[in-house]
């Protein structure tokens, strides 16, 4: 499950399980193609009741990376520090990328029997891509065999990539001269701001935060706004900021291996973020037309939550207005009463009491049975000036 969905459930804004299919067909001539290693955390652990005791890897990231690489004719293996079947963080089994991943027998087999990182020899793979997830903050940086593999792989001219929390492992990687891998290099990863908003319990237990540590090691850190896609390519070092950057990072690996990525249908999360980028770039007419034509192609609940959390993290009026704009993009297609209250409160904070009242009226209208939302709407209405 993506970070936004996990936080949304804790905050009472449930993610909707909307289904779609993504066409990702593996190449038939994979035996002669370059080989890519996907590395996942093995930190995840379930208790006797099946609840998560320790965080694991992000299944969405693994699925998207696997599907993109396989669609481009590359052979793919999966490794983890201890090998075997690692435990993923919570995820939405209805997600289009995960459904496609689980429909691939090779993918399922690779995840059930991941290779131990200590058994992987340098030179076996043309590229190595480290998958994120909160578990990656714990076991990957302390995996000395993995650090040695990554350092040697890069020194030999291999392509090295990581997404989201995956770049945490780079803090342990040294070049042959002893310098940190990231010193002087352009990189990104899960930002301190994103960690502050979404880290919750586990972030307080991390041995370090990625942005802080890599900056300390001399990295030239780059980032996009909170939870927006961001790809950084510095020669053979490829990094993606968050889960929504995974497909871009995988395609960057494809390009780094001398191939042109095949045309494909974007994953629904990916398409939704692209829609937000177009909206913020001033393409409102085009975006409205896309939603009008096929709103189910996009995760409008995800867009709504993105705007909500960006608004909460905003430090100036310009950022708050932009976040409200993102929420308004989703509003016609995401009618959750509590979201309406959140949006009304945001408008009221900017002095737009007319829009706030209109949203409150929608929540209070007959037929709505969300008592909590109605109560919050009533309290907000009482604070508004007459009008």
CATH number of residue 277's parent domain: 1.25.40
Domain range holding 365?
268-383
192: tokens are 């301190």
The angle subtended at Cα 369 by Cα 365 and Cα 370, nearest 5°, is 100
Residue 258 has pLDDT above 70, yes or no: yes
Which of the listed residues 256, 283, 300 is the one where a domain comes to its end? 256
pLDDT tens by residue, 7-18: 344 334 433 332
pTM (predicted TM-score): 0.91
Residue 290 Ramachandran class (φ > 0 left, ψ -120 to 50 alpha, else beta) = alpha
74: tokens are 């590359």
User: Is residue 328 domain-shared with residue 235, that is, in the same domain?
Assistant: no
User: Is residue 42 domain-shared with residue 99, that is, in the same domain?
Assistant: yes
User: Is residue 295 domain-shared with residue 241, that is, in the same domain?
Assistant: no
User: Is residue 115 domain-shared with residue 73, that is, in the same domain?
Assistant: yes
What is the per-residue pLDDT for 28? Answer: 39
Q: Mutual orientation of helices 3-10 and 300-313 as an angle, nearest 10°?
A: 80
Beta strands in 89-219 (DSSP E): 115-116, 127-130, 159-163, 186-187
Check: CB of residue 310 under 8 Å from CB of residue 326.
yes
Rounded Cα distance, 314 and 346, in Å:
11
What is the per-residue pLDDT for 4? Answer: 56
Which of the listed residues 199, 224, 256 is the one where a domain comes to its end? 256
Quote the percentage of the chain above a pLDDT of 70.
92
Q: Is the dihedral of CA 375, 380, 385, 387 positive or negative?
A: negative
pLDDT tens by residue, 307-325: 999 999 999 999 999 999 9
Determine, yes or no, domain membership for 67. Answer: yes
Quote the percentage of the chain above a pLDDT of 90.
88
Determine, yes or no, domain membership for 19. Answer: yes
User: Is residue 127 domain-shared with residue 189, that is, in the same domain?
Assistant: yes
Determine, yes or no, domain membership for 24. Answer: yes
Tell me the mean pLDDT in the region 191-195: 97
Secondary structure of 201-248 as H, E, C letters: HHHCCCCCCHHHHHHHCCCEECCCCCCCCCEEEECCEEEECCHHHHHH
Domain count, the chain: 2
Residue 122: exposed, middle, or buried by beta-carbon count in 10 A (0-12, 13-18, 19+)? middle
User: Is residue 295 domain-shared with residue 361, that is, in the same domain?
Assistant: yes
Round the average pLDDT of the chain to a whole number and report it.
92
User: Is residue 31 domain-shared with residue 169, that is, in the same domain?
Assistant: yes
User: Is residue 328 domain-shared with residue 243, that is, in the same domain?
Assistant: no
User: Is residue 102 domain-shared with residue 172, that is, in the same domain?
Assistant: yes
Residue 333 has pLDDT above 60, yes or no: yes
User: Is residue 175 domain-shared with residue 252, that is, in the same domain?
Assistant: yes
Q: 3-state DSSP call for residue 290?
A: helix
Rounded Cα distance, 252 and 255, in Å:
5
Which of the listed residues 204, 224, 256 is the one where a domain comes to its end? 256
Determine, yes or no, domain membership for 60. Answer: yes
Check: CB of residue 30 under 8 Å from CB of residue 121.
no
User: Is residue 94 domain-shared with residue 217, that is, in the same domain?
Assistant: yes
Rounded Cα distance, 269 and 298, in Å:
7
Nearest to 5 by CA among 18, 23, 21: 18
CATH number at residue 251: 3.40.50.880
pLDDT tens by residue, 96-116: 999 999 999 999 999 999 999
Rounded Cα distance, 34 and 253, in Å:
11
Residue 30 banded pLDDT, cuts 50, 70, 90? very low
Residue 31 banded pLDDT, cuts 50, 70, 90? low
Determine, yes or no, domain membership for 263. Answer: no
User: Is residue 197 domain-shared with residue 327, that is, in the same domain?
Assistant: no
Determine, yes or no, domain membership for 135. Answer: yes
Determine, yes or no, domain membership for 261. Answer: no
Rounded Cα distance, 20 and 165, in Å:
27
Secondary structure of 347-379 as H, E, C letters: HHHCCCHHHHHHHHHHHHCCCCCCHHHHHHHHH
Residue 128: exposed, middle, or buried by beta-carbon count in 10 A (0-12, 13-18, 19+)? buried
Q: 3-state DSSP call for residue 259?
A: coil
Q: 3-state DSSP call for residue 45?
A: strand
Determine, yes or no, domain membership for 262. Answer: no
Rounded Cα distance, 193 and 360, in Å:
31
Rounded Cα distance, 130 and 41, in Å:
9
Rounded Cα distance, 304 and 291, in Å:
14
Residue 199 banded pLDDT, cuts 50, 70, 90? confident
Sequence-separated (6 or more) residues with CB below 8 Å from residue 135:
41, 42, 43, 44, 54, 55, 56, 57, 89
CA distances from 165 to 49, 90, 233, 383 (A): 27, 16, 17, 41
């Amino acid at each position: 499950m993506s970070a936004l969905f996990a936080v949304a459930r804790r905050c009472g804004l449930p993610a909707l399980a909307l289904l779609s299919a993504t066409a990702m067909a593996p190449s038939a001539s994979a035996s002669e193609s370059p080989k890519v290693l996907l590395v996942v955390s093995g930190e995840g652990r379930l208790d006797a009741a099946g609840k998560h005791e320790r965080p694991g890897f992000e299944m969405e990231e693994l699925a998207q990376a696997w599907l993109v690489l396989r669609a481009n004719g590359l052979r793919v293996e999966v490794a983890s520090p201890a090998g075997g079947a690692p435990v993923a963080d919570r995820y939405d089994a209805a997600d289009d990328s995960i459904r496609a991943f689980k429909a691939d027998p090779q993918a399922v087999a690779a995840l059930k029997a991941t290779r131990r990182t200590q058994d992987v020899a340098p030179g076996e793979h043309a590229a190595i891509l480290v998958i994120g997830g909160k578990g990656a903050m714990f076991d990957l940086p302390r995996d000395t065999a993995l650090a040695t593999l990554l350092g040697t792989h890069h020194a030999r001219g291999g392509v090295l990539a990581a997404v989201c929390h995956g770049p945490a492992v780079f803090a342990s990687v040294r070049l042959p001269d002893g310098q940190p891998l990231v010193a002087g290099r352009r990189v990104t990863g899960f930002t301190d701001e994103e960690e502050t908003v979404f880290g919750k319990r586990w972030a307080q237990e991390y041995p370090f935060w990625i942005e802080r540590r890599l900056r300390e090691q001399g990295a030239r850190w780059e980032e996009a706004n909170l939870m927006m896609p961001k790809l950084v390519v510095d020669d053979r070092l490829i990094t993606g900021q968050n889960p929504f950057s995974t497909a871009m990072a995988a395609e960057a690996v494809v390009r780094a291996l001398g191939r042109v990525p095949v045309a494909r249908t974007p994953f629904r999360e990916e398409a939704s973020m692209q829609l937000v980028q177009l909206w913020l770039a001033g393409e409102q007419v085009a975006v409205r037309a896309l939603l009008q034509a096929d709103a189910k192609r996009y995760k409008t609940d995800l867009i709504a939550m993105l705007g909500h959390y960006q608004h909460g993290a905003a430090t100036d009026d310009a950022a708050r207005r932009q976040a409200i704009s993102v929420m308004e993009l989703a509003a016609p297609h995401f009618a959750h009463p509590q979201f309406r209250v959140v949006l009304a409160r945001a408008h009221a904070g900017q002095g737009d009491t007319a829009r706030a009242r209109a949203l409150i009226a929608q929540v209070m209208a007959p037929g709505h049975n969300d008592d909590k939302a109605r109560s919050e709407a009533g309290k907000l209405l009482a604070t508004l000036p007459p009008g």
